[in-house]
Each structure stands twice: as structure tokens, then as C-alpha cells.
Chains A and B, each alone.
Chain A
Amino acid sequence: MIDAIPDKISRKFKEKDQFDLNRNSQYYLLPFRFHRLTDEKEIIVNEVGDYLILSNGTFESIVKRKLDKEKDKDLYGDLIANFFISEELIPPLIDVLATRYRTKKLFLNYFTGLHIFVISLRCEHTCHYCQVSRVTQNRDLYDMSLSNIDKGIDIMFKSPNPHVTMEFQGGEALLAFDHIKYAVEKAEQIAIEIGKGLTKVICTNLALINEEILEYCKEHDILISTSLDGPKYVHDKNRNKPNASSYELAIKGIELSRKLLGHDRVSALMTTTKLSLDYPTEIVEEYFNLGFQGIFLRNISPYGFALRTDTSKYETEKFLAFYKKALDRILEYNFSGYHFTEDLAKIFLTKILTPFNVGFVDLQSPAGLINGVIVFNYDGGVYATDESRMLAEQKDYTFKLGTLNDDYNDLFFGRKAQEIAQLWANEALTGCSECAFQQYCGADPVHNHATQGDMYGYRPNSDFCQKNMEIIRYLIELMESDSRIKRIFESWAKTATH
């Protein structure tokens, strides 16, 4: 039962002027960042990723206190409501803003979740862009030993994260399926004993998949992640398998896996190569026709070939043209009523349109390496990311944190981790610190090192910066130019946060 307060007889809201306690139009700036979108439009983004699109010159008016509370009533109200300005030195609702900031950094709460076990370096494919795999029968040299698996599992369960993911990669992981079985059964037992959640994933090209393996995956609730670069004429050229069509094996494998495990237990990832750049719509259509709910348009990996800045920047321009064409096709499907997403856009849109964030290794700050992911290599080396171990195959051990024989604290909080931590937050990087898209982007010391020779990186000719800036700008431009696209993007962001 709710009692009314006796001396309140009126149920009306107070008069409007009761709510405006600051009549003199004096305001203070709150932290926010600015970027020119076009000659007519500019964008300001606050500390928690809320943005306003303004006409050219507005940013200057705000900073120089030229806004008039009465004449610019709507803008003034928007700036107050969205924490760009405040009428008090410390905004009365700063705790709300702090809670929102904390929500944006929620991915830091649990520390490392993804543990990649490079179970074997052996592979039966000879893909031209792969820097790591070996075509060999030598199991002793290139498979992860059982003792190293034990040590990896031990370290994995020391993570404070209440739910860990164990991902088996290669080479071709299924060449060492007996070791996967050993690892899965051991990890499952410990997870039950200590009460931690455990997700298991096998990354495979599916060439070796069969009913027996899939029955095991079903029994142990293992997800399948595969590679599909597009139609047969793209996939088979990218991923060479001697005396066989990699594409046909992958398609057959996807169908069989879906049949035995369920449609949503199989995901596919593509790698964009130089060849792929000519087939943006065909690649999207391939994914759509195979019944996937979306596609992740991943750019060309710099590890191996496009190492020099000029070359990689040139490639980035081509990738951006490819990306935009592919996104056009994806939007066409959405206009026709299909929910079909592009996953890179989905990551950005979640950051732009929702109070939440996405824990994605190179699009978060602090970066996801060590914080979110760790790699246990087949030979017992422990690396900060998957790309780090690829660098190691080129004799570059910059991101080797140690070995599986080392202590947990030495690996995750040791000298090397501390060295990387100096520059894993874009808030503290030159060029990023005042960038309007800082909250939507991230830091990637491994990429900086691989492409520019040092972990700090140099933004003016960074392909990472060029790519992310342009994609974010393009997504905002699309939303501003067409309300249908905005609604589609909002639906993508919604599904990402559920």
C-alpha cells in the first residue's frame, strides 16, 4: 500500500521554469572529441561513445561559449542531456556517466577468456598466404605434447574468468584429434570440479571431418569454426589442397556438421586475399546462399606479405572499396527482409549505438591481447595473440610471453606483459588520444609492430587507423543518409547485445 504525502494536494508537475535553475547560460565543457565528417557536417563523441552530428562550425561555437541557451535551445538541451556540457563544474549526474563508462569497459572485468591451443602445426593444405603450417608426418616435432596440454589446461583454469573458452587451432587441428580428445576430457573434468564454465571450439578446414568426429563433438558440445573464403573459384585458389578441392570438402563438411550438430553450431570465417578483392558480391552471396546469418569481412592480414607501409596502405584502399561493395550487397538482402549481418560493422555499431562494448582483440582498449586472449603454441611457447605466434614462425619473438613451464603471474603480469601494457590503450597513444572515434576503435600493438616496426605505431600512415576510421565514418554516413539503413544497423546492434 502506498500512502500519499498529506500536504501535497496537486498531482500536477511543477511549472516549466522550476526545472531551469541556471538562467545565465554559463556552462562547462565535459570530455568529448571532434572530427570533421564533410565540409558541411562534423561529429562530436563523448567519453562513453554517444555522438551528435552537427553543422560545420558548431564545435567551435560550443568551445568558445558562443551558444545561446534560448536561441540554440534544442542543441543546448542535447549537449546537456548527452554529457557534452554541464551547467555545473562537476555534473550532478557524474555517477551515471561513470556507470556508463564502466559498462563500456566491462570486458575488463573477467580477464582472459579465450585460450588458444595450437594443437598441431601440421596441415594437409598448402595455402599460399599461410605462414605457419607444415606439411609433414612428424608428430613429435609439430604436435602439442600431452604434458604441454596438461600445463596449458592448468594455466587456463587459473584465469579469474568464470567462463573460459578452449579453442583448438592448427595447422589443421583435426590431424591431432586424439590430442584434442585428451584435452577436452581433461578440461571438462576440471571445469566441473572447480565450477567454471567451459566452451570448446575446433577450428578446422573440415577436410578431415567425419561422422565419428562429429558424434564426439556432439557428445562434448564442441563448436566448429571453419574457413570459407567465398565461391569455389576464390576458395580453391586461396586454399590449395593437393589433388582435391578444398571448397568441396568444406561445403560437404559444413552440411554434415550442421546435420549432426545443428545449424548454429558451425561458423565460418573468411580471409580477404588480393584475389578476393575482385569478388565482393560473389563472396557475400556465397555466405547468404549457404544459410549463414552473416559474414565477417576480414581484411588482408599483414603477416607475411603486405608488410611495408606503402604497400599495405595501397591494399587498405582496395580493401575499403571491396568492403563497401560487399556491404551494399548485404544491405540489399536486408532491404528485402532478410536479417543478414556484416560482423565487423556489427562490432562498430554495438559501440556506436548501444551502451555496451564488444570484447574483440584489436578493437578494444586496453587491447584484448593477454586481457582477453592467450595462445599456447604447439611447442610450449606462450604468445599474446594468434598473430604473435605467426610472427614467431618468422623468427620474431617480440610477443612471446614465456613458455608453459613458467608461472602464471610471470606470463600474464611479467616484464613482457608490462612492456606491452604501456601501449595497449588508445587513450594514451599519439594520434588516438584526441580522435573522435577513440571509443569505437582500439589498440593493436602486434599489428603496429608487424607493419611499422614498433609497437607504438605511427597513425598517419597506419593501415589499421586508415581502415577503422574510414569504416566507422562510412557507417555513420550511411545511417545519416538513409533512415532505413539506420533501422537495419540498429537491429544488428541489438542482436549483438543479446
Chain B
Amino acid sequence: MQFQNEIKSNEVIVFADASLYSKDSIFKCLYWYGDKFHTNVSFADSGTYRVSLKPISTNQLSNLELELLLQKLERDLIDFNLRDIVTKETQNVRDLLIAKAFSNGEFDEMPPGNVSDPVGFNVNKVAND
């Protein structure tokens, strides 16, 4: 079923395909709206998130502002999903990096390859002198 993002009864509603957007990214995105909006996440169907924002009573918005809010939410969802991809893909290398940074050398390795110098000096001899 095709869902259309919309503004309905002062509420901004965006649909996100669950195969493209992670749950974590949706919640991380909505976190930043929590001070001015009632936020809600539910399933529109088994493969689609329904994400909605409703201004809290002290935050009245014009139609134009609601349009801009819809655009911002759509864009933020994409941004947070991309951030989430980076975070998850790089989790292990980040752990390794920090483990190495705070270690006492037990994780250090020799760089790969042979040490040589293109201008022709015996690097190993220089290093040992």
C-alpha cells in the first residue's frame, strides 16, 4: 500500500519504509522534536512506520510553518538514517580504535609491507645506527 506524507488536523505525518529506515534512526530523529511536539511512532502496516508530530499547546504553528516542519522532518529522517548507518557500520573499528588508544601497546602491530626507501638508502641500517 502506498502511503502519502501529509498534514492533517494540525498533525504532521510521515511514513517510513521499515526496510530502508532503522527503528533507532527514527527514535534518534524524534528525540530532537520532543521539546516542542507530541511525538508518536506506530506501524501503518507491517513494513511501514507511521511517524507523527503534533505541536504542544504552547507551540501554535501556521500552515506554512507546518509545511516547513513536514519538510524538515522528512529531511531529518534521512539524515538520522544515514548517521545510523555510519554508527553501525563503524562500531567495531571504533571499539578497536579506542581500545588501541587506551592500551599500553598490547594491541600495536607492525605496519604491513617491507620497509624500503625509493631513493635507495638502507632504511633498516639507518634505523639501527
Contacts and interface: CB of A to CB of B under 8 A. Distances in A.
B45 interface: no
Interface residues of B, number: 38
A32 B97 contact: no
A432 B96 CA distance: 21
A5 B120 contact: yes
Q: Is the interface of A mostly helix, strand, loop or mixed?
A: loop
Contacts of B23: none
A105 B97 CA distance: 13
A461 B35 contact: yes
Given A2-B125, A94-B97, A459 B86 contact: no
B121 A458 contact: no
Contacts of A9: 120
Contacts of A95: 100, 108-109, 111
B86 A47 contact: no
Nearest to B75: A36
B119 interface: yes
A31 B93 contact: yes
B121 A94 contact: no
Interface in A1-57: 2-5, 8-14, 28-34, 36, 47
Contacts of A30: 90, 93
B98 interface: yes
A31 B125 contact: no
B38 interface: no
B119 A29 contact: no
B121 A4 contact: yes
Contacts of B32: 431, 459-460
A90 interface: yes
A379 interface: no
Contacts of B94: 31, 47
B44 interface: no
Contacts of A28: 89, 93
Interface stretch (B6-14, B47-55, B62-70, B77-85): B77-85
Given A14-B118, A29-B90, A31-B93, A430 B31 contact: yes
Contacts of B35: 458, 460-461
A32 B28 CA distance: 17
Nearest to A430: B31
A90 B107 CA distance: 13
Contact of A92 (B36, B90, B111): B111
A63 interface: yes
CB-based closest 5 A-B pairs: A98-B100, A101-B101, A8-B120, A460-B35, A31-B90
Interface of B: 28, 31-36, 78-80, 82-87, 89-90, 93-94, 96-98, 100-102, 108-109, 111-112, 118-122, 125-126, 129
